[in-house]
Amino acid sequence: MSMADSSPALASRRPTREETPEVQARNRRIGSLVATASLWGIRFLIFSVFALAWWAAVEMKLLDRFFFSSPVDIARFLVAQFVSEIIPNALETLLAMSIAFVLSGIAGVAIGLLLFELPGLKRTIDPFLTALNSMPRIALAPIFILWFGIGIASKVALAFSLGFFIVLLSTYAGIRNVDPILIRLSRSLGCTSSQQFMKIMLPWAIPSVFAGLKLALIYSFLGVVTSEMLASKAGLGQLIMYYSGILRMDAVLGILFVMAVFAVLLTFVADQVEAALLGGWAEGSNQAKS
């Protein structure tokens, strides 16, 4: 068989351009972007239908504008006051929330690991932890304001009291739920305590820890806003109380809308950070569990 006769057969066995890994990866990226755009499009459509129905109900006098305001009035308030009021007060709230979240995350993880390593200490202080965690935070807020004043310290204290126990319990539960068979197997293979912790316990517990951290992030935000609503010099909670006092429902609902957007963005950022940081840990955890 000549070279000319064999070339069509060879060409037919070559992978086409569509079969190359680069093209497949590009198609997967395009498909992911299309799916994400479709999902956000559906979400925007739901929000638009809700806002349109709300506006129509107000215009047709089915809802009292004084009590329910209108999406148009809320949008006007946000446009007019976004730079002068919303941004400065939002930065004040986010600063207090960030400090409380970092402190609660560090302390919660550290003490959760400590209680696991010292079970005697855990049994000793467990009733005290339960008693402190069961206290209603709204009742503690006036005490924190009395102790720390109406500045940022009282807001951080209240938010810390919420986030700390969430991270602590999630960390302890994640470490405690490690499969004991893996621990015994690692000991039989001669693993040291540090190797067991780094290779088995920590990868197993990391997803639970991050779940607690994401929940603590939202609760820290809520704790700061709650403290601001009781007594504060600045913040989104303080704005809500001010406009509630003068019966500006458009302003109150507008600020609540901003808070909801912040909560969604914080959750989105936390999910992205978790996905970026847990790639190796999640793989190690899955391998350990399998």
What does the DSSP assignment read for 54-97?
Answer: HHHHHHTTSS-HHHH--HHHHHHHHHHHIIIIIHHHHHHHHHHH
Confidence bin at 15 (pLDDT 50/70/90) = very low
pLDDT category, 19, cuts 50, 70, 90?
Answer: low
pLDDT the model gives residue 284: 47
Model confidence band, residue 12 (pLDDT cutoffs 50, 70, 90): very low
How confident is residue 279, by pLDDT bands cut at 50, 70 and 90? low
- In sign, the C-alpha dihedral spanning 200, 201, 204, 207 is negative
Q: pTM value?
A: 0.77
Q: State the average pLDDT over residues 240-259.
A: 91
Q: Which single residue is written with the structure tokens 């993880």?
A: 109
1 has a pLDDT exceeding 60: no
Mean pLDDT, the chain, rounded, equals 82
Cβ-based burial of 148 (10 A; exposed 0-12, middle 13-18, buried ≥19): middle
Please state, for a pLDDT cut of 70, what percent of the chain lies above it.
88
CA dist., res. 75 & res. 55, Å (int) = 12
CB-based contacts of 252, cutoff 8 Å, min separation 6: 240, 243, 244
What pLDDT sits at residue 97?
93
Mean pLDDT on 160-168: 92
Share of the chain above pLDDT 90, in %: 29
Q: How far is CA 209 from CA 40, 61, 165, 286, in A?
A: 29, 49, 12, 16
Query: 118: helix, coil or strand?
Result: coil
Cα–chain center distance at 224: 15
Task: Return d(Cα 234, Cα 143) in angstroms, integer.
Answer: 19
Query: Given pLDDT bands bounded at 50, 70 and 90, which one contains residue 3?
Result: very low
pLDDT band for position 168 (50/70/90)?
A: very high
- Per-residue pLDDT at 255: 93
pLDDT tens digit string along 69-122? 889 999 999 999 888 899 999 999 999 999 999 999 999 988 988 888 888 888
Query: Residue 160: its pLDDT value, please?
Result: 93
Average confidence (pLDDT) over 167-193:
78
Residue 290, pLDDT score: 47
Binned at pLDDT 50, 70 and 90, residue 151 comes out as confident
Q: Is the pLDDT of residue 58 over 80?
A: yes
